[in-house]
C-alpha cells in the first residue's frame, strides 16, 4: 500500500504482530493465563492489547479483599416491547439476550432486568416480556422503568412482578432495588388520559413530564432498610434513573440525587447499576460507583453536556444494524462490593469497565476509546 493508505487488514496485521512479539517475551505460564483472558495479568505485564484483539472470555479485575463473596450476575435491560405483530425487532432482541444469558457457562448467580420491559406499559406488552423472561435459567430479579409504570401507575406490574422496591442479601452483599422514576403529577391539571400520560413520559425529550426522583417515602424506606448494616457492608443499588444528575432535558437525571447519595455516603463502597440511558456510562461520586446498562431495543446518543469524566463513550452505532450499540452484559462482583462491568455488545467485542478503573479514578485499566464518538 502507498504510504498512509493502509487497509484495515494491514493495520490489523501490524497491530497483531506487535502484540505477539510482546507476548512471546512472556514465559509459557503467563502466556496461558493471558490467553484465557485475565486482563489483570495483561495490565500487570504492561502489555496493552490492541483494540482489535480482545479476549473472548470475561476479563476479571484484581480481586480485592472484603466481606462479600466473589460472584457473577448477568443483566438485560430496556427492551421496550411492543406486541409481536407491531414490532418484531424489539421482541427478537430480547429473545436474543435471553439466549445469550442462557448460554453463559457457568450460569450467573442471578439475572437482573433493568426496567422498561414494555414500551407503553400495556398489559399485553408486559405479559409478552414476562413470558420471554420466564425462559431464563438463572433466577430473575427485576425493576421498574418509566415505560412500565405510567399507563396504569404500576397496577399490572405489581400483579406480574410484585413490589417495585425491595432489598435482599446475597453472599455478603446488600442489594437494594429502587423505583427511581417517580414523577410529580403533571397530568391531572392537563386532563390527560392514561395513554396520553404514558406517551408523554415515553418521549425522552418530552419536557412536559417532570424530572425523575426517588421521593421522600422511598428515601425514608432506604434509610430504614440500610440502618442495620455497618459502614463496611458492600451495597449495590439497582435504579432505573442514574441517581445522579447528567442531562435534565432527557431525564438522564434524578432530582433528589444528592439526598439519596447522602444516605449512601457512609458506606465504604456503593455501586449503582442503572438503566434508562441505553449506553456505556460510568461515573463515580465519592464512594459511589455508577454503571449504566445496555439496552436490547435501541441505543441513545450521548448527551451534549453533563457527561461524567470517567465515561468512555461507546462507538457511535450504525443504524443499518438495529442491534448495534445494544446487547446485554454481566457484572462481576468482588468481595469489596466493587464490580467489573462487562458490556456484551452485539456484533462488537465485549468491553469491560473494570473495578480498578473506577477504583483508581480512571487511571488504571482504561477501556479503549472509540474512533467514532457522538458529536
Q: Which of residues 16-45 bind other proteins (CB under 8 A)?
A: 16, 20, 23, 31-32, 34-36
Given the complex with other proteins, which of 203 and 361 has the nearer CB atom? 203
The size of the interface with other proteins (CB under 8 A), counted in residues, is 76
CA dihedral 106, 236, 280, 10 (to 10 degrees): -40
Nearer to other proteins (CB atom), residue 36 or residue 217? 36
Contact 213, 255 (CB under 8 A): yes
Q: Which three cell numbers stand for residue 231?
A: 459502614
Q: Is 205 in the site for other proteins (CB under 8 A)?
A: yes
Among 371, 366, 365, 368, which residue's Cα sits nearest to residue 315?
A: 371
Contact of 116 with 80, CB cutoff 8 Å: yes
User: Where do the DSSP E strands lie in 11-109?
Assistant: 71-76
Among 140, 322, 368, 370, binds other proteins (CB under 8 A): 322
227 lies in the site for other proteins, by CB under 8 A: no
Listed ranges 51-59, 160-168, 263-271, 328-336: which one lies at the site for other proteins (CB under 8 A): 51-59
**Interaction between residue 294 and other proteins (CB under 8 A):** no
* Range in contact with other proteins (rule: CB under 8 A) among 38-46, 216-224, 330-338, 367-375: 367-375
In terms of Cβ atoms closer than 10 Å to its own Cβ (0-12, 13-18, 19+), residue 199 is: middle
- Residue 263 as a binder of other proteins (CB under 8 A): the answer is no
**Residue from the set 155, 169, 193, 319 that interacts with other proteins by CB under 8 A:** 319
DSSP one-letter string for 121-143:
--HHHHHHHHHHHTT-SS-EEE-
Q: Which of residues 104-133 bind other proteins (CB under 8 A)?
A: 119, 132
Minimal distance, residue 44 CB to other proteins, in Å: 18
| CA proximity to 143, closest of 171, 169, 180 | 180
- What's the closest the beta carbon of residue 132 comes to other proteins, in angstroms? 7
Check residue 223 for interaction with other proteins (CB under 8 A).
no
Report which secondary-structure segment, H or E, holds 261.
Answer: helix 257-264
E strand or H helix at 17, and its extent? helix 8-24
Residue 46 to residue 49: CA distance in whole angstroms? 10
CB of 69 to other proteins, least distance (A): 26
| Binding of residue 159 to other proteins (CB under 8 A) | no
Residue 343 near other proteins by CB under 8 A:
no
Strand 245-247 versus strand 252-253 pairing type: antiparallel
Q: Which is nearer to other proteins, 1 or 227 (CB)?
A: 1
* Residue whose CB is less far from other proteins, 31 or 168: 31
* Site membership for other proteins, residue 171 (CB under 8 A): no
**Smaller CB distance to other proteins: residue 137 or 266?**
137
Residue 57: Cβ within 10 Å count: 11
Q: Does 146 contact other proteins by CB under 8 A?
A: no
H-assigned helices in 302-372: 355-359
Amino acid at each position: 500500500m502507498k504510504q498512509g493508505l493502509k487497509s484495515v487488514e494491514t493495520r490489523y496485521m501490524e497491530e497483531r504482530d506487535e502484540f505477539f512479539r510482546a507476548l512471546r517475551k512472556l514465559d509459557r505460564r503467563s502466556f496461558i493465563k493471558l490467553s484465557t483472558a485475565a486482563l489483570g495479568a495483561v495490565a500487570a505485564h504492561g502489555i496493552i492489547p490492541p483494540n482489535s484483539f480482545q479476549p473472548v472470555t470475561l476479563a476479571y479485575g484484581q480481586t480485592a479483599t472484603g466481606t462479600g463473596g466473589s460472584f457473577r450476575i448477568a443483566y438485560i435491560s430496556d427492551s421496550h416491547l411492543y406486541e409481536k405483530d407491531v414490532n418484531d425487532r424489539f421482541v427478537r432482541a430480547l429473545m436474543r439476550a435471553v439466549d445469550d444469558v442462557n448460554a453463559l457457562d457457568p450460569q450467573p448467580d442471578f439475572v437482573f432486568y433493568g426496567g422498561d420491559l414494555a414500551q407503553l406499559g400495556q398489559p399485553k406488552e408486559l405479559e409478552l416480556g414476562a413470558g420471554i423472561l420466564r425462559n431464563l435459567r438463572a433466577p430473575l430479579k427485576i425493576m421498574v422503568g418509566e415505560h412500565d409504570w405510567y399507563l396504569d401507575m404500576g397496577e399490572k406490574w405489581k400483579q406480574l412482578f410484585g413490589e417495585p422496591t425491595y432489598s435482599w442479601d446475597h453472599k455478603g452483599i446488600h442489594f437494594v432495588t429502587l423505583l427511581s422514576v417517580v414523577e410529580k403529577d403533571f397530568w391531572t391539571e392537563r386532563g390527560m388520559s392514561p395513554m396520553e400520560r404514558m406517551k408523554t413520559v415515553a418521549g425522552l425529550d418530552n419536557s412536559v413530564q417532570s424530572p425523575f426522583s426517588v421521593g421522600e417515602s422511598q428515601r425514608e424506606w432506604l434509610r430504614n432498610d440500610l440502618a442495620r448494616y455497618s459502614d463496611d457492608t458492600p451495597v449495590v443499588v439497582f435504579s432505573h434513573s442514574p441517581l445522579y444528575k447528567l442531562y435534565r432535558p432527557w431525564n438522564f437525571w434524578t432530582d433528589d440525587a444528592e439526598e439519596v447519595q447522602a444516605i449512601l455516603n457512609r458506606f465504604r463502597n456503593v455501586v449503582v447499576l442503572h438503566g434508562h440511558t441505553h449506553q456505556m456510562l460510568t461515573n463515580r461520586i465519592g464512594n459511589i460507583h455508577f454503571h449504566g446498562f445496555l439496552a436490547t431495543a435501541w441505543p441513545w446518543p450521548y448527551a451534549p453536556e453533563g457527561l461524567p469524566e470517567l465515561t468512555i463513550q461507546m462507538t457511535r452505532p450504525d443504524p443499518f444494524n438495529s442491534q448495534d450499540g445494544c446487547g446485554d452484559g454481566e457484572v462481576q462482583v468482588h468481595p469489596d462490593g466493587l464490580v467489573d462491568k462487562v458490556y456484551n455488545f452485539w456484533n462488537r467485542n465485549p468491553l469491560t469497565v473494570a473495578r480498578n478503573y473506577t477504583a483508581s479514578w480512571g487511571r488504571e485499566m482504561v477501556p479503549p476509546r472509540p474512533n467514532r464518538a457522538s458529536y
